[in-house]
Chains A and B, each alone.
Chain A
Amino acid sequence: MRITCTYCGSRDVSEFSYLGDATLTRPAGGEGHAMLDYVYLRDNPAGPHEELWYHAQGCRSWLRVRRDTVSHEILDVRMAVDK
């Protein structure tokens, strides 16, 4: 599998590390359930999924990768800062 890093171009997946759901928003000053959900609650969708990948062995960019969890097809890659 390869991921096209917005900065470095197409690279082998072994250069990246995976974090997870990229659609979550950290609740600033969040208490109780908002924070609990942010930290622990995840959907497990079959199909397109926005997720965060870190180009650890490259430019250290955090990327928002749209990936189909069924086919593993990479549909889109953007810089996380450009959300």
Chain B
Amino acid sequence: MSGFRLSSGGLVDRTSPRSFRFDGRAQTGFAGDTLASALLANGQVTFGRSFKYHRRRGLLTAGPEEPNALVELRDGARREPNSRATTVELFDGLVANSQNRFPSLDFDLMAVTGLLSPIFAAGFYYKTFMWPAAFWEKLYEPAIRRAAGLGRASGAPDPDSYEKAFAFCDVLVIGGGAAGLAAALAAGRTGARVILVDEDFVLGGRLNAERQVIGDVAAADWAAAQVAELQSLPNVTLMSRSSVVGLYDGNGYVALERVADHLPVPFPGMPRQRLWQISAKQAVLAAGSLERPVVFAGNDLPGVMLASAVRTYLNRFAVAPGRRAVVFTAIDDGWQTARDLAASGVEIAAVVDPRDDVAPHLLKGLPSRLGARVQRAFGTGRVQGVEIVGADGIVTRLAADLVAVSGGHSPNLGIATHLNHRPRWSDAHLAFVPDALPPGLSVAGSANGTWALGAVLAEGAARGAAAAAACGFAPVVHDIPRVADEVVARAALWRVEGGRGKAFVDPQNDVTDKDIALAAREGFVSVEHLKRYTTLGMATDQGKTSNVNGLALLAELTGKSIAATGSTRARPPAVPVALGALAGTHRGKHFRPTRLTPSHAWASENGANFVEAGQWLRAQWYARPGETDWLQSVSREVSAVRDGVGFCDVSTLGKIALEGPDVGAFLDRVYCNTFSTLAEGKARYGLMLREDGFVMDDGTVARLDARRYVMSTTTANAAKVMQHLEFCHQVLWPELDLAMSSITEQWAQFSIAGPKSKLLLEALFDGAVDVSDAAFPYMGAREVLVGKLPVRLFRLSFSGERAYEIAVPANRGAALVVELMRVGAPLGLVPYGTEALGVMRIEKGHVAGNEINGQTVARDLGLGKMMSQKKDYVGRAMAQRPALLAPERPTLAGFVAVDPAERFSGGAHFLAPGAVVAPENDLGFMTSVAFSPSLNRWIGLGLIANAGERLGQRVRGYDPMRGRDTLLEVVSPVFLDPEGARLHA
């Protein structure tokens, strides 16, 4: 026997059939169904196989707390594992497959693990797979992962898009059931901005699953009327198909909106899901409560279902989950399930209630067994009957294909505990109820342990009105509709012992009562230890239906009260969130945008290979036809610059404009060398230290006129330097009168280097600008107008050659390149990339990012003389610490191989010849290496202890990473033109 569709009733649209496939079989449901209700209506009994023992599992719930019915939804690249069939809205063309079974759901070879279950008890992995340690990664873990586990990810890129959005409101209402609707309306009518978030596709929560009457209309109709009024209020936003997944500091809520999950494929331009950050002044948590199962033998058989879930399937989806039912309940609410089942024509075998006395009206017309318990459910493949132990201890059997159980309710308080507020155990409620709450959050309805519908509606309205009032909105009189009185008596019911077979506490992670007993015996009596040792509550459902039962069992075993045993807290996300939603639009290139230099298009047409420098793409070298090797191209570029003229796009360097009467004084404090003496029309190299004395960045500052300066930084540190300068100005020295702005992206800047660079500028300006050495000496800086075009010209050199930098507004950079190439053709002008730039700076012993690595002080880099003795500046005091001045501290030196033909590389560590390879003999390491076409050999810069004494000595360059071991000679770090004659050539 199995479930079937009722001929009438429910919120499904029998005129709108929906066809779908499950495990390849074509089936039909109705609009308004979930995948679970449609399958149940079509007689599906087994919905999944369990995680560890591969036991058949059916539906336990009808909501997001479902531990068993996890499926792979959709196929191909859209395949989504571990989707809860109970929350999947049925659509035409839906495809789903069961998971964690081989080869099929009905015949699962892995079910033999159930026979081996004695060895799969809690702590099994820790005890069994400890030795030998090396086996874990290679053998044990892959094998376990194949046997256990959940669904498979698609393995293909997600074809859908996701969005992130921000929302702001006065009152956020979490949950659109009875309490939530009442709260939203009470707040909405005051004029407060209200957002109501509900995870279902129909608002109303349990009102849609009950046969109660509110006022004089059916509960579902009443809910629909409330929704209609809420929709009419312009200050209220309703978000269905959305879950609040986390609460963060400062009243920040994160909600996941499933925009297109109910469609086969999102419409063009439509995101699949949207992640909201909702900033709410006040919030009302009306997330309802979750029914608890009862722990007894065989309680995981398909056909054993929560009593409230049975009502949901009956009343909302018009599906009877069985034909002959036993209801096992310790609370009055469970009897309603029996009454609804009977009204739908399902035979009630018995209502079993452990209480000796219940309100007489409950008994009316129902066969009942008071003072009795279900100790075991039995059956092959599904439940076929139960063993009932009576008050007299006599065990009787009853046939049934449906067992509806209720062990009471747990308020759904996960969100309220995300900021570390713990709920408190209430013996009156037999549940954890709210205690201290996060600021601005209140709880209403059964989430607050308020069970009776009339009280729930009143409490929801009161909380909604109070939240709006806290935001300054005057209250509006709100009628609470009349609801029939309910009795909500309940007794504790956690476990029934005595039945033969496994009794599950956490069905998703296959944790049994015996596992908990074992953990307690072995001393894992703290809740946190129990969880980790048994994995209780650590599955994808976060133990929503199992944590409290586990806690109650532990309390029983340790002889403590539940309150003394511990409490439950949850962490975000409250429901699983796809990584795609967390990433939002930040995928691929949107994750890390590419910044292009002004010459990029021209460079890519002219053979450039690009390299990433932070977000920038820079030309690394320009391959010419016939060049087969990067070294060939780079060496050609270096020689072309050294013999003629080349240009390089240096727009990526950070540029900061500084203006004001105190810029000079300011620069004196942020650079270790002096800038207040910098004349107008001149530039100077500067070294910037951190306050701890280490070098932060280097660059130049040009003084354009009395008040205006422009600073350059390295590409990598542009933002960091800007932040540092703002700190120095705003926090340290706000009395200095200056302002600054980043202009990195406003100017295109090119280095023009080589002995013919002056000729190139003459050709470019054609007499419009005087570039003679008299008018424009080394380290000159000028701002000129060429026609209407502002041009900044600097005579700076990084290559050691006569060189200039020319800057134009960024949108004119591309045109400048074309013009340079046109006028430069007769001079043999070549473009060069960052690689040639690097070769030339190494040849000159100029330090760069490899040496300014955050661990070097000025003295280490041979720049100690730049540190002024005459002024205070950031880093001055700390750079004088004795250890930073010790001669054994590695400092900059040059290196060549003793055999000129030998190649070596950066990262090699220096050892004295004959020294044992050991960390204590390490003398330093190679920072930068290049092939120098000028010297026709490999050259390197490195940091080596006692560098001053080592000139001319030999050291080993030990490089086990690349299998190199090179005998090196220590030389001056300036390999070329130590006198600097080329700067003026």
Contact = CB atoms under 8 A, between A and B. Distances in A.
B223 to A, nearest CB: 34
Contact of B731 (A35, A40, A74, A80): A80
A29 B872 contact: yes
Contacts of A36: 878
7 contacts: A1-B252, A39-B878, A54-B727, A56-B723, A61-B730, A62-B730, A80-B731
A2 B730 contact: no
A17, A61, A62, A81: most-surrounded residue (chain B CB, <10 A): A62
A2 B439 contact: no
Contacts of A29: 872, 877
A31 B878 CA distance: 8
A76 interface: no
B279 A2 contact: yes
Nearest to B880: A31
The 8 closest A-B pairs by CB, nearest first: A72-B249, A1-B250, A81-B734, A35-B877, A62-B730, A1-B249, A29-B872, A80-B731
Contact of B250 (A35, A40, A74, A81): A74
A41 interface: no
B959 interface: no
Interface string A41-65: 0000000000010101000111000
Contacts of B732: 26
A30 B872 CA distance: 9
Nearest to A13: B250
B733 to A, nearest CB: 9
A6 B621 CA distance: 47
A2 B872 contact: no
B732 to A, nearest CB: 5
Nearest to B874: A26
Nearest to A79: B730
Contact of B726 (A35, A40, A62): A62
A13, A26, A52: most-surrounded residue (chain B CB, <10 A): A26
B252 A2 contact: yes
A52 B731 contact: yes
A73 B439 contact: yes
A15 to B, nearest CB: 12
Interface string A67-83: 00001111000011100
Interface in B697-732: 719, 722-723, 726-727, 730-732
B166 A12 contact: yes
B252 to A, nearest CB: 6
Contact of A30 (B248, B719, B734, B877): B877
Contacts of A26: 691, 732
Nearest to A32: B877
Given A35-B877, A73-B249, 9 more contacts: A1-B250, A1-B252, A2-B250, A29-B877, A54-B723, A61-B730, A71-B439, A80-B730, A81-B734
B277 interface: yes
Interface of A: 1-2, 10, 12-13, 17, 19, 22, 26, 28-32, 35-36, 38-40, 52, 54, 56, 60-62, 71-74, 79-81
A39 B692 contact: yes
Question: Chain B: interface residue count, which band?
Answer: 20 to 34
Contacts of B726: 54, 60, 62
Contact of B723 (A17, A38, A39, A74): A17
Contacts of A80: 730-731, 734
Contacts of B691: 26, 38-39
Summarize A's interface: helix, strand, loop or mixed. Answer: mixed
Contacts of A22: 731
A12 B723 contact: no
Contacts of B692: 39-40
Contacts of B877: 29-32, 35
A69 B634 CA distance: 54
Interface in B728-767: 730-732, 734
A17 B723 CA distance: 10
A72 B250 contact: yes
Contacts of B439: 71, 73
A62 B691 CA distance: 18
A54 B720 CA distance: 12
B249 A62 contact: no
B731 A73 contact: no
A52 B723 CA distance: 12
B743 to A, nearest CB: 14
B727 A35 contact: no
Nearest to A2: B250
B674 to A, nearest CB: 16
Contacts of A61: 730
Nearest to A29: B872
Contacts of A19: 727
A40 B877 CA distance: 13
A35 B730 contact: no
Contacts of A35: 877-878
A62 B727 contact: yes
B730 A81 contact: yes
Interface string B845-887: 0000000000000000000000000001000011010000000
Contacts of B248: 1
A56 B720 CA distance: 10
Nearest to A82: B734
A79 B125 CA distance: 56
Interface string B937-954: 000000000000000000
B880 to A, nearest CB: 8
A53 B731 CA distance: 11
A73 B878 contact: no
Nearest to B251: A2
Contacts of A2: 250, 252, 279
B499 to A, nearest CB: 49
A48 to B, nearest CB: 15
Contacts of A28: 872
Nearest to B725: A60
Contacts of A52: 727, 731
A29 B439 CA distance: 46
Interface string B644-676: 000000000000000000000000000000000
A39 B727 CA distance: 15
A35 B872 CA distance: 12
Contacts of A54: 723, 726-727
Given A52-B731, A81-B734, A73 B250 contact: yes
Nearest to A62: B730
A54 B691 CA distance: 18
Interface string B767-790: 000000000000000000000000
Nearest to A27: B877
Contacts of A10: 279
Contacts of B878: 35-36, 39
A65 to B, nearest CB: 12
A17 B719 CA distance: 12
A9 to B, nearest CB: 12
Contacts of A73: 249-250, 439
Interface string B273-298: 00001010000000000000000000
Contacts of B727: 19, 52, 54, 62
A51 to B, nearest CB: 12
A29 B692 CA distance: 14
A79 B734 CA distance: 11
Contacts of A79: 730
Contacts of B872: 28-29
A71 to B, nearest CB: 8
Contacts of A32: 877
B40 to A, nearest CB: 44
Interface string B153-191: 000000000000010000000000000000000000000
Nearest to A3: B250
A80 B730 CA distance: 6
B693 to A, nearest CB: 9
Contacts of A56: 719, 723
A2 B252 CA distance: 8
A27 B166 CA distance: 43
